[in-house]
A and B are shown apart, each in its own frame.
Chain A
Amino acid sequence: MALLEVAGLHVKYGNIEVLHGVDLRVNEGEIVTILGANGAGKSTTLLTLSGLVKPSGGSIAFGGRPIDKLPAHVIVKLGIAQVPEGRRIFNTLTVQENMNLGAFVSKDYEQVKKTQDWIYALLPVLSERRQQLGGTLSGGEQQMLAIGRALMSRPKILLLDEPSLGLAPLLVKTIFQTLREINTTGVTIVLVEQNARAALKLAHRAYVMELGNIVLEGPSPELMANSEVQAAYLGTGSQ
Chain B
Amino acid sequence: MEQFFQQLTNGLAVGGIYALIALGYTMVYGVLKLINFAHADLFTLGAYLGLTLLTSMALTNHLGPLWGTLLLALMVMGLIALVGALLDRVAYRPLRASPRLSAVVSALGASIFLQNTIMLVYGARFQVYPQNILPKAAIELGGLSIPVVRLMVLATSVIMMAALYLFIQKTKIGTAIRAAAIDQGAARLMGIDVNRVILMVFLVGPSLGGLAGLMVGLYYGQINFTMGWNYGLKAFTAAILGGIGNIPGAMVGGLLLGIIEAMGAAYLSMAWKDAIAFCVLIMILIVRPTGLLGERVAEKV
A interface residue numbers (CB < 8 A to B)? 50-52, 71-73, 76-77, 81-82, 84, 86, 88-93, 97, 100-102, 104-105, 133, 135-137, 139, 142, 149-150, 153, 166
Chain B residues within an 8 Å CB radius of A135: 297-300
CA distance in complex: A200, B289 (Å): 48
CB pair B191–A153 under 8 Å, yes or no, is yes
Shortest Cβ distance from A75 into B: residue: B191
- Please tell me if the beta carbons of A73 and B186 are within 8 angstroms of each other in the complex: no
Residue of A nearest to B298 (CB): A135
Which 3 pairs from chain A and chain B are nearest by CB?
A76-B191, A105-B191, A88-B186
Contacts A73-B193, A84-B185, A93-B175 aside, 17 further interface pairs with beta carbons under 8 A come to: A52-B185, A71-B193, A72-B189, A86-B301, A88-B189, A90-B178, A90-B183, A91-B182, A92-B295, A92-B296, A101-B175, A101-B179, A101-B192, A104-B192, A105-B191, A135-B297, A139-B301
Q: Interface size of B by Cβ–Cβ distance < 8 Å?
A: 24
Query: At the interface, yes or no: B172 with Cβ under 8 Å from chain A?
Result: yes
A13 vs chain B, min Cβ distance (A): 13
Q: Compute how far the CA of A52 lies from the CA of B187 in the bound complex, rounded to whole angstroms.
A: 11
Give 11 CB contacts A-B under 8 Å. A50-B189, A73-B193, A73-B194, A76-B191, A81-B189, A89-B186, A90-B183, A93-B182, A104-B176, A104-B192, A153-B191
Which residues of A sit under 8 angstroms from B188, Cβ to Cβ?
50-52, 71-73
In the assembled complex, the Cα of A82 lies from the Cα of B191 at a distance in Å of 10
Which residues of chain B are near A90, meaning CB under 8 Å? Answer: 178-179, 182-183, 186
* Chain B residues closer than 8 Å to A97, beta-carbon distance: 175, 178
- A86 and B301 alpha carbons, distance in the complex (Å): 8
B190 at the interface (CB under 8 A from A): yes
183-225 of chain B: CB within 8 A of chain A: 183, 185-194
A170, B76: Cα distance in complex, Å: 60
Give CA–CA (A24, B124) in the complex, Å.
Answer: 65
Give CA–CA (A113, B225) in the complex, Å. 53
Please state if B300 and A76 are interface contacts (CB–CB under 8 Å): no
Contacts A52-B185, A84-B185 given; indicate if A101 touches B297 (C-beta within 8 A): no
Given A88-B185, A137-B300: A93 in contact with B190 (beta carbons within 8 A): no
Check if A73 sits within 8 Å of B192, measured CB to CB.
Answer: yes
Cβ-closest chain A residue relative to B194? A73
CB of B99 to closest CB in A, whole Å: 13
CB distance from B23 to the nearest CB of A (A): 18
- Distance A76 CA – B296 CA, assembled complex (angstroms): 31
Are A82 and B296 neighbours in the complex by a CB distance under 8 Å?
Answer: no
Kindly supply a per-residue 1/0 record for chain B positions 220-250, scoring 1 wherever the CB is within 8 Å of any chain A CB and 0 otherwise.
Answer: 0000000000000000000000000000000
